[in-house]
Structures are given as structure tokens and as C-alpha cells.
Amino acid sequence: MSVLLIAPYPEQRRRELEQLLGPVHYYPWTELGRARTGTELLELLQRIDARAVIVELDEVTEEVIADHPLDFIGVCRATPVNVAVQAASKRAIPVFRTIGRNVQAVVELVIGTIITMLRHVRQSETWLKGENWIDQFGPYLQFQGSELHGKKVGVIGLGAVGKRIAKLLEAFSCEIVYYDPYVEQSEVPAYQALPLEDLLAKSDIVTVHLPSLPETHGLLSLTLLAHLQPHALFVNTSRSSVVDNDALYELLSNKQIAGAILDVFDAEPPGPREHALIQLDNVLATPHIAGASHDVYHHHAAIMNEQIIAWLKQSQVETAEPIS
């Protein structure tokens, strides 16, 4: 079997693929600098006559699936939004995913930026680089912050990322409360399940880890966000669509909450509306990089290879299903 591999893949894992499947044609999207369109992908598949494709961001459209025979599609991400999963399902083409590939990367950025925000790291660095340190003890008083230790942290969405964050926050003696209608209290007895409005009203820090689904779209509305405490820190590194960001802007610009850490935006790259939010002095913003670590490539390649091995052995493999 000939495989088109356009997801970034470490050399060792590529050699494993070759041993499992045969020739691997490696054209990572990172060398092109952008994701390929469906038309570009189809041309490449047909040129090398590949019977399988492994992508990260490139578009596997209905036309690709209809016009080129594939034994499987690999997607190096948890949610295959760039793949026409329904079209693949109709043709009995399995779609393998790499659930959990960037969990650690996201968790580390979340905790790191929370501490950065609580301890006024950015402001003190800017102040110091501006050659403002004249009085020996001035910065000690000016930049006194808060510790993460002992804070009540509300986790909205207790999936892979949410659970890992909650576990690591235990080391800071944080009290964990959560909202997730799909996770029973008995599954996580160390944490307290709360209705969403209660979680927002009682938490010092709220961190959001929800998928983009019809039922989560706009879930965190102005009505709910208004329950946040004045000293609360709001964190969203999951999907922008789950939050009413106009409402969030209103709360932040009026200093009704202490601050926000945002890695995702309604428009990416941002437009004027997003920049208005990003440029607030109580917002720490990053350009959708929570999952962007070099280690993620190693993680997704290892998970993908395990999926393929299981498929070759005719073991049960969890594949992506069409969203009804």
C-alpha cells in the first residue's frame, strides 16, 4: 500500500509506517506553509497513486473521497473538521483520529498563563525593560500578585484536557469544581459537580474546555458570564464559538471581572472586533498556540501508528463518526 503522509511526522514514526504499510510519500504541510485545498490534495493523491492519506490540516473533501479510492484516512487531530467524514462513512472508509495528542501542551499553557496573569509577570517585565526600577522596594509593592495555591477553579468540560488540568491543579491544593453533563460525580469523587451558573459565581478561576458543537454554541452567554465574581479570571483555550465574546468584552472593558486569558477567537486571523478584545489591558491573548508544541508531532504520530496497527490486526478501532 502506498501512503501519502502530509501531517508532520518524526522520522522514526515514518519508518514504522513504511514497515507497516509500504512506501510512504512525505509532503508535510509545514514545508508548504499552509494547508492544501481538496483540489491540491486530490492531484497529489492521483500523482503518486496513494491508497491511504494521513493529514493534519489539509482538506479531505467529498470530491477527494469520491474521485480517489482510499483504504483509510488518518487525521492527526481529535476533531476531524477538515475531513468529509460522512462521505467517508458512506464508502466504508475508516477515519482514524489522534485523540489526546495535544492535551499536555494545552494544559501547560493554561497553567503557565494563569500564573503569569496572577503574578503580573507581563506588566512587571515591561516596567523593568522600561528602566523604571529606581526605588529598591517599589516593584515589590507595585506588582504583588496572587498565588494559584488554594484557589477554587471551575473547569467547564471535563474531557481529556479538563481532567488533566484538574489533576495537575491538585498539586497547588486548588479546590476543583466542574460542569459537564456527561461526567457523573461518581466518576470524579474528588471534584464537585455544579450547575453552570453556580460554578461561574463561586470560582476564582474558570477554564473552558468544550468542543464546538451545536449544543455548545454560545453556551456562555452574557446572562451566565454575569455570574462571574469581580476578582475572577476567565480562561478559554478550547473554541471561541462556545463563548459570547461581545459579552466577555463588555465585562472586561467595564472591569466587571479581573481578566481573561484567550487563545481562540471568533475570526482567525483576528479582525477589528477581535483586536478590540485582544488589546484590553486585562486580557492575556495568544494566537491559537495552546496545542502548538514540537512534542505534539511525536504524540500524534505514536497514536496514529497504534491505530493503524490495530486496524491491520482487525482489532476494534474507534473511528470518527458523521455528526447527524
Q: How confident is the prediction along the chain (324 residues), in pLDDT tens digits per residue?
A: 999 999 999 999 999 999 999 999 999 999 999 999 999 999 999 999 999 999 999 999 999 999 999 999 999 998 899 999 999 999 999 999 999 999 999 999 999 999 999 999 999 999 999 999 999 999 999 999 999 999 999 999 999 999 999 999 999 999 999 999 999 999 999 999 999 999 999 999 999 999 999 999 999 999 999 999 999 999 999 999 999 999 999 999 999 999 999 999 999 999 999 999 999 999 999 999 999 999 999 999 999 999 999 999 986 666 776 654
Q: What are phi and psi of 138, to 5 degrees?
A: -55, -50
Domain shared by 143 and 209, yes or no: yes
Asked if residue 302 is part of any domain, the answer here is: no
Asked if residue 314 is part of any domain, the answer here is: no
Domain shared by 137 and 235, yes or no: yes
Domain shared by 243 and 128, yes or no: yes
Asked if residue 93 is part of any domain, the answer here is: yes
Range 171-204 burial, b when 16+ CB lie within 10 A, else e? eeebbbbbbbeebeeeebeebbbbebeebbbbbb
Orientation angle between helical segments 294-312 and 11-21, nearest 10 degrees: 10
**Catalytic residues, which ones?**
239, 268, 288
For 314: left if phi > 0, alpha if psi spans -120 to 50, otherwise beta; the answer is left
Asked if residue 175 is part of any domain, the answer here is: yes
The model's pTM is 0.89
Asked if residue 320 is part of any domain, the answer here is: no
Domain shared by 9 and 30, yes or no: yes
Domain shared by 154 and 251, yes or no: yes
Domain count, the chain: 2
Asked if residue 224 lies in contact with residue 198, where contact means CB atoms within 8 angstroms, the answer is no
Alpha helix segments (H runs only) across 53-102:
62-67, 85-90
Domain shared by 216 and 148, yes or no: yes
Asked if residue 311 is part of any domain, the answer here is: no
The residue segments making up the domain with residue 145 are: 102-285
Residue 108, judged by CB atoms within 10 A of its CB (0-12, 13-18, 19+), counts as middle
Asked if residue 17 is part of any domain, the answer here is: yes
Domain shared by 221 and 170, yes or no: yes
Residue count of the chain, please give it: 324
Asked if residue 58 lies in contact with residue 76, where contact means CB atoms within 8 angstroms, the answer is no
Domain shared by 155 and 29, yes or no: no
